[in-house]
Homo-oligomer: A and B are copies of this chain.
Amino acid sequence: MEGVSSEAASLAGHLKLGNLIYIYDSYNITIEGSTSLAFTENVRKRFDAYNWHVLEIDGHNFQEIESSILEAQKVTDRPSLIMAKTVIARGSACMEGSEESHGAPLGPEEVRASKEKMGCDRDADFAVPEEVYSVFRRVRDEKKKVYDSWKLKFDAVVRDDLKRKWDMFFTKPDLDKLRPKLPVFEAGSKIATRAAGGKILEVLYRELPNFIGGSADLAPSNKTMVKNISESGHGKVGRIIHYGVRENAMGSIQNGIAYYGGFINFSATFFVFMDYMRPAVRMAALSGLQSIYVFTHDSVFVGEDGPTHQPVEHLAVSRAIPNLYVIRPCDADETVEAWNCALARNDGPTLIALSRQNLPVIDRSGTSSAKDLSRGGYIIHDYDTRDVVILSTGSEVHLAITAAKNLFTDNGIKARVVSLPCWELFDNQDESYRKRILGEGNKRVVIEAGIKAGWEKYAGEKALYITVDRFGCSASEQDIAGYFGYKPEIIKDSILKYVKSS
| Residues on A facing B (Cβ under 8 Å) | 1-7, 10-11, 13-14, 30-32, 35-46, 48-51, 103, 215, 217-221, 225, 231-234, 242-249, 275-276, 278-279, 282-283, 285-286, 307-308, 312-313, 316-317, 319-323, 451-454, 456-457, 460-461, 469-471
Contacts and interface: CB of A to CB of B under 8 A. Distances in A.
Given A3-B246, A49-B42, A457-B461, A36 B234 contact: yes
Contact of A11 (B38, B45, B312): B38
Contacts of A454: 316, 453-454, 456
Given A453-B319, A453-B453, A471-B322, A220 B31 contact: yes
A215 B456 CA distance: 36
Given A1-B10, A37-B244, A456-B457, 13 more contacts: A3-B6, A32-B225, A42-B50, A43-B49, A45-B48, A46-B50, A49-B49, A313-B321, A316-B453, A316-B454, A317-B317, A322-B469, A454-B454
A220 B278 CA distance: 26
B3 A249 contact: yes
Contacts of A3: 2-7, 246, 248-249
Contacts of A452: 457
B322 A470 contact: yes
Contact of A51 (B38, B41, B244): B41
B31 A14 contact: no
Contacts of A320: 313, 316-317, 320, 451, 453
Contacts of A219: 31-32
Given A220-B32, A282-B275, A323-B471, A14 B38 contact: yes
B1 A14 contact: no
A101 to B, nearest CB: 13
27 contacts: A1-B217, A1-B246, A2-B276, A3-B5, A3-B249, A13-B40, A13-B41, A14-B38, A31-B219, A31-B221, A40-B51, A41-B50, A42-B50, A45-B49, A46-B46, A46-B49, A103-B221, A275-B278, A286-B308, A313-B317, A313-B320, A313-B321, A316-B316, A316-B317, A320-B320, A453-B454, A453-B457
A231 to B, nearest CB: 8
A167 B245 CA distance: 42
A451 B316 CA distance: 12
A214 to B, nearest CB: 9
A306 to B, nearest CB: 10
Nearest to A47: B49
Contact of A38 (B5, B242, B276): B242
A217 B31 contact: yes
A229 to B, nearest CB: 14
Given A317-B317, A320-B451, A242 B32 contact: yes
A49 B39 contact: no
A320 B453 CA distance: 7
Contacts of A249: 3
Nearest to A248: B3
Contacts of A218: 31-32
Contact of A278 (B1, B50, B278, B460): B278
A314 B50 CA distance: 35
A5 B2 CA distance: 11
A350 to B, nearest CB: 17
A267 to B, nearest CB: 13
Nearest to A7: B3
A38 B244 contact: yes
A118 B43 CA distance: 47
Nearest to A234: B40
Contacts of A31: 217-221
A451 B319 CA distance: 11
Nearest to A15: B38
A38 B275 contact: no
Nearest to A462: B460
A219 B51 CA distance: 35
Q: Which of A39, A215, A232 has the most CB of B within 10 A?
A: A39
A279 B282 contact: no
Contacts of A231: 37
List of 3 A-B pairs having minimum Cβ-Cβ separation, nearest first: A3-B3, A38-B244, A456-B456
Contacts of A36: 233-234
A38 B217 contact: yes
A46 B43 CA distance: 9
A469 B319 CA distance: 12
Given A30-B217, A32-B220, A244 B1 contact: yes
